[in-house]
Amino acid sequence: SLTPREHQILQMLAKGLTNKDIGRVLQISENTARNHVNSIIEKLQVSDRTEAVTTAIQQGLISVSN
C-alpha cells in the first residue's frame, strides 16, 4: 500500500508535475522525489509514471478534480 507521501506525490503526478517540480513544492530534493515516484511505480506494478496515474485513478486511489 502507498504511504501518505506517495499518495501526495501521485496526486502531483496526475497534475503533470515533474520530479523537480515535486521536489520544489515539497521542499525535498529532486532525487528524493524520483525515489518516491519509483516506489509508487514498483508498488502499483506499472512501467512508468503515466501508467501509475492511470492505474491509481482506475483503482480509486486518487481523484482528478480542479
Binned average pLDDT, 10 residues per bin, the chain of 66 residues: 95 96 98 98 97 95 79
The pLDDT assigned to 63 comes to: 85
Query: Which residues, 6 or more positions from 29, have their beta carbon under 8 angstroms from its beta carbon?
Result: 23
The pLDDT assigned to 65 comes to: 73
The pLDDT assigned to 34 comes to: 98
The pLDDT assigned to 66 comes to: 56
The pLDDT assigned to 39 comes to: 98
> Which grid coordinates are listed for 13?
503526478
